[in-house]
Every structure is written in C-alpha cells, then in structure tokens.
A and B are shown apart, each in its own frame.
Chain A
Amino acid sequence: MAGHIDEKKLFTGALVIIAFATLALVVMPYVQLKHVQAPAELKPYTDQQAHGRKVYMSMGCVYCHSQQPRDAKYAPDDKRGWGRASTAADYAYDKVHLLGTMRTGPDLLNIGARQPSQDWHLGHLYQPRAYMPGSIMPAFPFMFVERKGPAKEGEAVLNLPPAYAKPGVTIVATRDALDLVEYLKALDRTYPIKKTIEQSLEKAK
C-alpha cells in the first residue's frame, strides 16, 4: 500500500482546476459586470412585458432566436437590420439571459423597432407562413381561442391575410399571446451606445 498520496493529488488537483476555471469564467465576469449600469434610454420591463418574457422562455423561443447582434467589423448583422453590436449594459434588466446560440430564425434584440405592429406579431404567431413564406417557425395556435360569433369588447381579434383567413371563425389572442407580443415590441436597443464594458466600468468608479 502506497498510502493515499494518489487520492490527495486527485482531490487537490481536481479542486484547484475547477476553482481556477470558476474564477476565470464565473467570478471574474461577475466582479467585472456587476457595476455595469443600465443606459438611461433602456426602461425596466412592465409587468406585462415581464410576463411576456416568461412566455418567451417557456415556449423555448431562445433555441432558434439569438438576442446578440455581432459587431459590424466581424459579421454583417447590422446590414440585416438587427442593430448595432450589443453591450453588457443592454441586458441590465435581463435577470435570466436570453442571448441564445442559434439563428434558425433571425436575431430578435431589436425586433420591436423593426416590427412594431401588434397585429403582425399576433398573426405571425398564429401562422408564421401567412406572413413569411418558407418560414419553418412552429405555429402557436394554442395561444389563441377560436370560436363562432363576434368578439367581446376589449378582445384582440386576429386579422389574417385572406389566403389564411377562416370565414365565420373569430380568432382571439390569449393573455399569453398578448403579453409575449408586448415583450417582443419592447425589444428595442436602437439607442446609441458607444461605451464598452471597460468604459462603463470607469464611470462606475
């Protein structure tokens, strides 16, 4: 028996290594980003938008849509109308990040500026292909109620393009659909920002 030197090496080695990785990728970004201030133009989410953001998470929108336009020097995201490169400050009110890793669909960080119409968003959720031929986004008809007869007061009724309209059927948006659209419309980081993370840190000091 060679004692338990090997075990000690295994435990200390494994712990030192994970401590170092955690320091580099979790603690240091935490310390550096903690002081980043929200830009004056960026408003906190309203209750409705915050609920819409929950719906966005619950439906898994993040698995096909990023929220992080890249720098114009690196990739032509700006030429697609997705906006300037985002900075950490743009996410000051995002407790859970939704940066995303996939663009099966377009980047959505500025979708509210690009497409401010509630009607468009509701119809597009109900049937994406009515607005975007060739789209492979899932339809979300379960976020709407279909019934005969007229809508009640205050209800949001869908006006689908003629090819997709259902005569005699009233399609009404649920609370989830309305709040999700409110959130999408609030996605607007088009205000100018020149501060890098480092500069906003200087300000914080």
Chain B
Amino acid sequence: MDGTALILLLTFLVSVTGLLVFIWSMSNGFFNTKQSASHIIFGKNEIGLVEDPASNQTNNELQEAAGETNASLTQKELSDRLIADKSSALPTFVCLLTAMCWLIIGSAAAIIASIKLHEPDWLVSQAWLTFGRMRSVHLNSVIYGWASMAGVGVSLWLIPRLLKTPLVGAKFVYWGALIWHVALMCGVTAIGMGYTDGMEWLEMPWQIDIFIVLGGALMGLPLFLTLVNRKVDHLYVSVWYIGAALIWFPILFFIANIPDLHFGVQGAAMNWWYGHNALGLWFTPIGLGAAYYFIPKVLGRPIYSYNLSLLGFWCLAFFYSQVGGHHLIGGPLPTWMVTLSIVQSMMMIIPVFAVAVNHHMTVGGNIKAVIHSPTLRFIVLGSMLYVAASVQGSFEALRSVNVITHFTHYTVAHAHLGMYGFFTLVMFGSIYFIMPRIVDWEWPHPWMISAHFWLVALGFAVYFIGLTTGGWLQGSAMVDASKPFMDSVLVTLPYLKSRSIGGGLMIMGHLIFMIHFILISLRYGTKKEPALLIPNVNIPFIKEAKVAATELKRG
C-alpha cells in the first residue's frame, strides 16, 4: 500500500515537473513575440475603430463610448475582409441555423424534464416522455446540436478573418453538417425510444457515433485546410484555442465511444474524463477563442496582454484536461486519480485568472460601450460568468465542499453556469455580430435583442440562484443522518419550481431570438446597408470595396 502510494506520488511529481518544462518550452517563443501579435486582427490604422454590426449605428453611440478616432481601413483591407467574410458566409449560416433549431428542441425537452421533477405524475403514460429520457434528449440536443454546431459555425466564420485567408473547402462543411444532423436526429430518437449506451454525455448508441465522428471530421477539415494557406505571420490566440479544440474533440469522442473497451469503475473514470473534457477541451476553448476575438474587435482595442492570453491557453489545456476525476470524489476509484483531479481543479485558478485579468483590462471599465454593443453585452457577461463558473468549480472539487454538493442540484446549477452562463451567452453575442455580415442586413428590431438579453439574463439568474440554494440545502440535509432522506427531497421543491420559472423565461428569450434570426435571414425590413460595416467610412467607399471584392474573387 505504502509502496504503491509512494510510486504514484513520484510519478505525479515527475509528470508535473515534466509538464511545467513542456509548458515553458511551448510558451518560450511567445515571450519574444511582440505585443503586435495582438494587432493581427486589425488593419494597419484600424485600432480605435469600433465594429459591431449588431448595434444600431445611426447615432453612433458605440464609437462615442469608445472614444473619437481618425482610424480607418484601407480599401484593400476592407476588400480582404469582405472576401474572408463571404467565403465563410454560407457554411457558417448552415451551422448556425441548425444550431438554433436544436436550441429550441433542447429547450422544449428541458422544460418538460424540469416540470416533471416537481409534478411527477405529469405526462407519465408514454415511456419516451419519462424524466430519464427527456433529460437525456435535452442534454444531447443542447450539447451536440446547439452548442457544438454554434461553436463550429462561429469557428468557421472566425478562422478566415483571423488568418486573413478565404475559407478553403466549404463543401466539406455541407456534407459534414448533413451527416452530423441526420446522425444526431437518429441518436436523439434512439434515446427517446430507450436505446442508450447508458453513460452520461455518451448516451447515443455507438453505431450512430460513427457518423458523428465522420460528420465532425468533415466540418473540421476546412479549418485545417485554411490554416495551411494562411497569410498572417502569427497565429492569434483565438486560433490556438479553436485549433486545439478541433484536434481534441474528435480524439475524446472517439476513445470514449469505443464499444466493449471500457468496464465497470474504469468506465466511470473514462466517463468523466470525457464529460469534463467535452466542456474543458471543446466548448471552453471555442468560447474563449470567440471572446478573445470579439471583445477587442468590437472595442477597437487590442487585447491587454497577448502573452498572458497564450500562457493562459497552455495552462488551461494542461490543468483542465485532468480534472474529470473530481466527479467521482468519495467513489470506489483509485485515490491517486481523484486526488490528481482535485489538485488540477485548484490549479485551474491560474488560467482563469489570466483570462479574467485580460478581459477586464481590455474592456477597461468601459461600461458604456458594453451597453451600446449588443455583442459585447452578451460576451462580456458570458466571460464574467466563465470566471465565476471556473472558480466555483475549483472549490467544488475540494472534499469538504464536495461532500455536500456532490449528488445534488447544486452541481446541475454549476454545469449550467458553465454551459449556459458562459458558453451559450458568448455564442449568442457572436451570432449577433456574425449574422448581419452573413446576410448583409441589419437586425430588424433592436428591441428584440434587448428582450432576448433581459429574458435570458433574468431567467438564468432565477434558475441559477434558486437551484444553487436548493442544491446546497439538499446536500446539507443529506449529510445530516438524523434527518430522514425524504427531507432532502422535500426541501428542494420550491427551488425546483423556481427553476421551471427561470427556465421558462430563458425559453421565451430563445423563441424571440429564433424569430429574430428568421427575420434577418429573410432580410425583413428596410435595407440600411452602410451603417452595417464601419461607421467612420463613407458609403461610396464601401460600395467600391464591395465591387473590388467581387472582382478579386472572380479573378
């Protein structure tokens, strides 16, 4: 026993030392990189110029909030950007539209599952409507339908801009998306019918997973083809995040779904290696990659510290990838594995701090700009909730906290803080920025953006605060052996109801968003073309750039 522990401890120390050396060598070059690497996303004289296609720019309040400037784009820069945007427009649109459909499907399943927890005799006559299946339909719809597709769509749109290179291989996206969605529809239907592989996050039958892997690979391919053809010297930090995520996710998903390989308790370890890495190595890097682009871009201000952002990237990759075991604290697993995950969970505070400092210093207390930019409103709130979710997660991994929060709704609230408060809000903000560029049209109704924001923000506040409180009370009752178990159930009831109310508000927000999304896709309303692009640039100039872009593309 002692010998084993000693060996494991030594292995651990050696690994950590090795990895620190590795991180140092990886980041070595970056410290020589000038801060100018953070300027890649701008034109030569563009810094200071705001860009938010979602804001109502007729009165130009956003630019005023960011400060007056003489900055401008050259015609060449503008044409290049238009070409980049055009190359990704259709593939991105396909991903975003389908993502939105899954958001609505996932929301419907969510509210049914939520109500069922406090109305257990509601909709009980059909097997597919039972809580255990509705919950999984919800999870798989929002994870593999909404979040993954939104993430891929936003990534496809960002890459040509970040690499200043038109997207290569768009046709792979259409085939990939088709295969992915047919597979996902089969997968969700299978879960409803009771065919499941039985593990959380990995419910879809493995036969269907083969097609998910194929579809995902096809959608990821253009990003790598574009990378090879890039025209920029440095890779902006968002490319590191997005590129790595696209390498990691297929590996995770493939290993986790190999049939007949995993067994018993080892299967549980693998299950949470996958479950937490889906968040840490797939959604988080994409969400952060988007935030690292849109916050500086909207404000026209480079990221505060480029080196810090890259250091944060490698720390996140290393620490986050090993935290999965904290889902099994107190379980029948090797102690060293759980301890490793707890340690790395606490270490996560370092990369999270790096992101927090960087985003905070970039926004620089410019609340006015955040108010005037719909994109920023969502993304800044999302980034703040990323920090909150991560710090909360670190402390939840401590045994003393975990003994109460494990096995309760507290964890459910925490998971939603990450996947909804952080990731989904960042995706909402990104879509507000991207869609006007794709369809060359403004969002028809600014009030719908505000309604969407306030409904999901308030709804989620009700959801999170209620469920966190209820979960904590549930856990406290459960570890008090003098109370009957039923106390831990009854105490949660008011909070489960508040969750349904909060969730209902969020869904109203989603429906408004969906309607608005359809309206802009149909180019509803009157065309206000010039306002869309760059407020400081005059109209004939933009028209010339567009003509030039079209000609360049033909040539």
Q: Are B332 and A64 in contact (CB under 8 A)?
A: no
Q: CB-nearest residue of chain B relative to A25?
A: B273
Among B377-426, those with CB < 8 Å from A are 399, 403, 406-409, 411-412
Q: Are B251 and A57 in contact (CB under 8 A)?
A: no
Q: Which residues of B are found within 8 Å of A28, using beta-carbon distances?
A: 334, 337
Are A62 and B489 CB-contacts (below 8 A) given A68-B332, A74-B403, A88-B333?
no
Are A134 and B120 CB-contacts (below 8 A) given A7-B227, A22-B255, A25-B325?
no
In the complex, B347 has a CB within 8 A of chain A: no
In the complex, B498 has a CB within 8 A of chain A: no
Please, what's the 1-or-0 string for A36-74, where 1 marks a CB less than 8 Å from any CB in chain B?
A: 100000000000000000000111111110101011001
In the complex, B324 has a CB within 8 A of chain A: yes
Among A104-119, those with CB < 8 Å from B are 104-106
Please, what's the 1-or-0 string for A12-24, where 1 marks a CB less than 8 Å from any CB in chain B?
A: 0111111011101
Q: Which residues of B are found within 8 Å of A17, using beta-carbon distances?
A: 317-318, 321
CA separation between A2 and B37, bound complex, in Å?
13
Q: Which of B4, B19, B198, B337 contacts A62 (CB 8 A)?
A: B198
Q: Which residues of A are found within 8 Å of B493, using beta-carbon distances?
A: 136
Q: Which residues of B are found within 8 Å of A86, using beta-carbon distances?
A: 331-332
Stretch at the interface among A75-83, A148-156, A165-173, A179-187: A75-83
Q: Which residues of A are found within 8 Å of B248, using beta-carbon distances?
A: 14, 18
Q: Which residues of B are found within 8 Å of A4, using beta-carbon distances?
A: 228
Q: Are B194 and A59 in contact (CB under 8 A)?
A: yes
CA separation between A117 and B30, bound complex, in Å?
67
Q: B136, B200, B332, B337: which has the most chain A beta carbons within 10 Å?
A: B332
In the complex, B445 has a CB within 8 A of chain A: no
Stretch at the interface among B81-89, B172-180, B262-270, B428-436: B262-270
Are A138 and B131 CB-contacts (below 8 A) given A14-B248, A101-B411, A103-B408?
yes
Stretch at the interface among B57-65, B99-107, B122-130: B122-130
CA separation between A138 and B135, bound complex, in Å?
13
In the complex, B541 has a CB within 8 A of chain A: no
Please, what's the 1-or-0 string for B18-32, where 1 marks a CB less than 8 Å from any CB in chain A?
A: 010010001001000
In the complex, B522 has a CB within 8 A of chain A: no
Q: CB-nearest residue of chain B relative to A105?
A: B489
Q: Are B321 and A18 in contact (CB under 8 A)?
A: yes
Q: Are A139 and B273 in contact (CB under 8 A)?
A: no
In the complex, B76 has a CB within 8 A of chain A: no
Q: Which residues of A are found within 8 Å of B252, using beta-carbon distances?
A: 18
Stretch at the interface among B208-216, B446-454, B478-486: B478-486
- Closest Cβ of chain A to B93, distance in Å, is 27
CA separation between A16 and B21, bound complex, in Å?
13
Q: Which residues of A are found within 8 Å of B260, using beta-carbon distances?
A: 95
Q: Which of A59, A60, A96 contacts B267 (CB 8 A)?
A: A96
Q: CB-nearest residue of chain B relative to A82?
A: B485
Among B231-254, those with CB < 8 Å from A are 233-235, 239-240, 243-244, 247-248, 251-252
Are A75 and B333 CB-contacts (below 8 A) given A9-B29, A97-B199, A136-B120?
no
Q: Which residues of B are found within 8 Å of A134, using beta-carbon distances?
A: 486, 489-490
- Closest Cβ of chain B to A126, distance in Å, is 10
Q: Are B127 and A59 in contact (CB under 8 A)?
A: yes
- Closest Cβ of chain B to A13, distance in Å, is 5
Q: Are A198 and B1 in contact (CB under 8 A)?
A: yes
CA separation between A63 and B412, bound complex, in Å?
11
Q: Are B327 and A135 in contact (CB under 8 A)?
A: no
Are A14 and B1 CB-contacts (below 8 A) given A25-B269, A60-B132, A197-B334?
no
CA separation between A117 and B132, bound complex, in Å?
24
Q: Which residues of B are found within 8 Å of A97, using beta-carbon distances?
A: 199, 263-265, 267-268, 271
Q: Are B117 and A136 in contact (CB under 8 A)?
A: yes
Q: Are B337 and A29 in contact (CB under 8 A)?
A: yes
Q: Are B490 and A24 in contact (CB under 8 A)?
A: no
Q: Which residues of B are found within 8 Å of A85, using beta-carbon distances?
A: 332
CA separation between A63 and B270, bound complex, in Å?
18
> Which secondary structure characterizes the binding site on chain B?
helix
In the complex, B277 has a CB within 8 A of chain A: yes
- Closest Cβ of chain A to B31, distance in Å, is 14
Q: Are A59 and B130 in contact (CB under 8 A)?
A: yes
Please, what's the 1-or-0 string for B489-516, where 1 marks a CB less than 8 Å from any CB in chain A?
A: 1100100100000000000000000000
Q: Which residues of B are found within 8 Å of A30, using beta-carbon distances?
A: 262, 266
Among A172-205, those with CB < 8 Å from B are 196-199, 201
Q: Are A142 and B198 in contact (CB under 8 A)?
A: no
Q: Are B273 and A141 in contact (CB under 8 A)?
A: no
Q: Which of A5, A25, A129, A196 contacts B322 (CB 8 A)?
A: A25
- Closest Cβ of chain B to A161, distance in Å, is 16
In the complex, A87 has a CB within 8 A of chain B: yes
Q: Which residues of B are found within 8 Å of A138, using beta-carbon distances?
A: 116, 120-121, 124, 130-132
In the complex, B305 has a CB within 8 A of chain A: no
Are A33 and B264 CB-contacts (below 8 A) given A26-B269, A75-B479?
yes
Q: Are B247 and A96 in contact (CB under 8 A)?
A: no
CA separation between A98 and B197, bound complex, in Å?
11
Q: Which residues of B are found within 8 Å of A95, using beta-carbon distances?
A: 260, 263-264, 267
Q: CB-nearest residue of chain A relative to B285?
A: A14
CA separation between A88 and B4, bound complex, in Å?
17
In the complex, B314 has a CB within 8 A of chain A: yes
- Closest Cβ of chain B to A33, distance in Å, is 5
In the complex, A145 has a CB within 8 A of chain B: no
CA separation between A26 and B468, bound complex, in Å?
31
Q: CB-nearest residue of chain A relative to B4?
A: A198
- Closest Cβ of chain B to A196, distance in Å, is 7
Are A99 and B26 CB-contacts (below 8 A) given A94-B264, A134-B489?
no
CA separation between A13 and B266, bound complex, in Å?
26
A20-B15, A28-B337 are known contacts; what are 9 more A-B pairs with Cβ within 8 Å?
Answer: A4-B228, A7-B235, A10-B240, A17-B321, A30-B266, A62-B200, A76-B481, A97-B264, A136-B120
Complex A-B, nearest 7 residue pairs according to Cβ-Cβ distance, in ascending order: A60-B132, A21-B321, A58-B194, A79-B481, A76-B481, A25-B273, A103-B407
Jot down 13 A-B pairs with beta carbons below 8 A, ordered by A: A9-B29, A10-B243, A20-B318, A22-B273, A25-B322, A32-B334, A63-B132, A91-B264, A95-B264, A96-B197, A135-B120, A139-B121, A198-B4
